[in-house]
Amino acid sequence: MSGEPAGLVIRPYEDADWPAVWRIVEPVVRAGETYPEPPDLDEAAARHWWIDAHRAVFVAADATDGTLLGTYYITDNKPGQGAHVANAGFMVAAAAQGRGVGRAMGEHSLEAARALRYLALQFNMVAVTNQASLRIWDALGFTRVGLLPRAFRHPTQGLVDAWVLYRWLGD
């Protein structure tokens, strides 16, 4: 797929990737600033949540040495009559933040969602404090369709609002 910055390869997740993916996922979950999962989530539960419960999982790797810099999943937002709308989650390794990895995965996810025959992509809860993600989704054409008052419990800022974001992929 196109849109990857030089030196970055985005590819499907492989089982051997899990230790490196866990090194990305664990600190993000422990921080409790962007995902509603419990900060004390153990590794087995995290693997089930991030890998097993989703339709497709991808990793972003340094093209030079293969170091994993980020990961994302795509899944049905809802089953049955809502299964044509995708949901996704994204994480970037702390050392790779600010290098375009998140945006590259976001662009890749739009193509991957289309390839999986989704007609739209929806994020159900993006905390207003997650400004880096909001900048990416705004730039990629997502619409902020609803604000959920005090929907996210931030570890230092308390109850904060969260956005529902949507982008139609069909037509």
For residue range 71-95, what is the model confidence (pLDDT) as tens digits? 999 999 999 999 999 999 999 999 9
What SS3 state is found at 10?
A: strand
Contacts of residue 56, Cβ cutoff 8 Å, sequence gap at least 6: 12, 73, 74, 75, 112, 116
Tens digit of each residue's pLDDT (9 = 90 or more) over 31-53:
999 999 999 999 999 999 999 99
pLDDT digits (tens, 9 = 90+) for 94-137: 999 999 999 999 999 999 999 999 999 999 999 999 999 999 99
Kindly tell me if the per-residue pLDDT of 166 is higher than 70. yes
Assess if residue 36 is contained within a domain: yes
Residue 110: which H helix or E strand, with range? Answer: helix 101-115
CATH number at residue 26: 3.40.630.30
Which structural domain, as residue segments, surrounds residue 65? Answer: 8-120
**What does pTM read for this prediction?**
0.94
Residue 50 lies in a domain: yes
In terms of Cβ atoms closer than 10 Å to its own Cβ (0-12, 13-18, 19+), residue 42 is exposed
Is 48 contained in some domain?
A: yes
The total of structural domains in the chain comes to 1
Which of 147-170 are b and which e, b meaning 16 or more Cβ less than 10 Å from the residue's Cβ? ebeebbebeeeeebebbbbbbebe
Give the per-residue pLDDT at 144.
98
Residue 2 counted as domain residue? no
Does residue 103 sit within a domain?
yes
Does any domain span residue 82? Answer: yes
User: What is the rounded average pLDDT for all residues in the chain?
Assistant: 95
Report if residue 127 sits inside a domain: no
In a domain, 155, yes or no: no
User: At 129, is the secondary structure helix, strand, or coil?
Assistant: coil
Strand pairing partners for 57?
Answer: 73
